[in-house]
Structure 1
Amino acid sequence: MRILFLCTGNSCRSIIAEATFNHLAPADMRAQSAGSHPTGEVHPRSIALLQAKGIATTGYFSKSWDEIGETPDIVITVCSNAAGETCPAYLGNVLRAHWGVDDPAKATGTEAEIAASFEQAYRILRTRIEAFLKLESTIYQDRVALQTVLQQIGQLS
């Protein structure tokens, strides 16, 4: 099972999701991340947050969806519609779900408030990833049921 976490810049949320998923998932499930308009760098706060959580950060980089070698089985967009962001539409015949999360890279305020924004994004994504990883393997055979469950998971906070 190959998962692609997709956003626009591929510098924060999708990288956090990719690294967290790969940290928690069994060996037969792998995640990648990409952006429709990648920034070209991973946000330093994303790296610091992942390292603080004990999640490996080696090898993660901001990349375009054009650089993804294999077609994923599932594409999960993590842009926040509530923040007025337009989520990219991945071109391909894959199962899609939307797990919108506010962009911590756009957080303003004190250091503590900005750090809290990154922590919140991580916490939401981890909760959703853990729910995904608890699914019974039989659901992967039913695209309609899996689509429904993935959308429900995207509502968890």
Structure 2
Amino acid sequence: MQKKVLFLCTQNSARSQMAEAILNDKGKGKFIGFSAGSQPADDINVYAKIVMKEMGIDISNYKPKSIKQFLNEKFDFVITLCDKAKNECPTLPNDAIYVHWGITDPRDFKGNEEETVNHFKKIRNELTRRINLFIDLPVDKLDKVILRKRLDEIISK
């Protein structure tokens, strides 16, 4: 049975959307990804769309979603990607494993278009690296304490 993963960040316009799409692409059959934000934006960040399309994943039809629409959903994992979402994230009514993979908000980057695209690529590549490590874990064979420790360690690998 697929493990359900919810990625959270503030606006659900870049990091969490990219993480959802990457997990759904790479974790087919083993995981299913979702994403939401504590204060969702109106649309997906254009640079997130560009860098995901470059790796063959189209997120142009994705829409930012509020965490509120997932409050009654059961997830196996909830992964926050920014400190604000970690602090504002409501506890969902289940026994999900909560992990924090802090990644800087790409909206805060200042640079020309080429520099901005390259910055978004770095974030996409870091998310891809972490998700690849995540999907390689034997999630069905580890107890929750060990699994959470392994998920926390992914940031430092």
Q: What residue is the counterpart of 2:100 in the other structure?
A: 98
TM-score normalised according to structure 1 size: 0.88
- Aligned-pair distance for 1:86? 5.6
Q: Tell me if the contact between 1:103 and 1:121 (Cα under 8 Å) persists in the aligned partners.
A: no
Q: Tell me if the contact between 2:139 and 2:147 (Cα under 8 Å) persists in the aligned partners.
A: no
Matched, 1:77 2:80: yes
- Aligned-pair distance for 1:9? 0.6
Structure 1: distance between partners of 2:140 and 2:21: 25
Q: Tell me if the contact between 2:8 and 2:85 (Cα under 8 Å) persists in the aligned partners.
A: no
Opposite residue 112 of structure 1, the aligned amino acid is E
What does 1:37-116 align with in structure 2 at a 5 Å threshold? 37-57=39-59, 59-68=61-70, 70-79=73-82, 81=83, 85=84, 87=86, 88-92=88-92, 93=94, 94-116=96-118
Q: What residue is the counterpart of 1:148 in the other structure?
A: 149
Task: State the SS of the aligned residue for 1:66.
Answer: helix
Structure 1: distance between partners of 2:156 and 2:99: 11
Structure 2: distance between partners of 1:105 and 1:10: 12
Which 5+ residue runs of structure 2 have no aligned equivalent?
none
CA-atom RMSD in angstroms: 1.7
The size of the alignment, in residue pairs, is 151
Which 5+ residue runs of structure 1 have no aligned equivalent?
none
TM-score normalised according to structure 2 size: 0.88
Moved over 6 A (4+): none
Q: Tell me if the contact between 2:17 and 2:35 (Cα under 8 Å) persists in the aligned partners.
A: yes
Matched, 1:12 2:14: yes
